[in-house]
Amino acid sequence: MGAKKLSELQLELLKVYSFNPSNEDLVNIKTMLAKYFANKLTNNVQKAMDENNITNDDLENWLNEKS
């Protein structure tokens, strides 16, 4: 398996760690990243729903389907 390059995000996070942030700062950074990616996912799901005429009721039905 070949070596993989670090992504731009990983490189930026390494820069943050070089400043030796406190545990509180790390928790806040983690929270900000989680909110950012959750928001991005929500927007992508909403876009897919709009493009495919999927309603919230459709999603609820799918979530409650029995396997």
Looking at residues 6-15, what average pLDDT do you find? 92
| Per-residue b or e along 22-44, where b marks 16 or more CB atoms closer than 10 Å to that residue's CB | eeeeeeeeeeeeeeeeeeeeeee
Whole-number pLDDT of residue 23: 95
pLDDT band at 2 (very low <50, low <70, confident <90, very high): confident
pLDDT for 67 equals 74
- The closest of 45, 67, 41 to 58, measured between CA atoms, is 45
Nearest one of 7, 13, 4, 48 to 33, comparing CA atoms: 13
In tens, the pLDDT along 11-64 reads 999 998 899 999 999 999 999 999 999 999 999 999 999 999 999 999 999 999
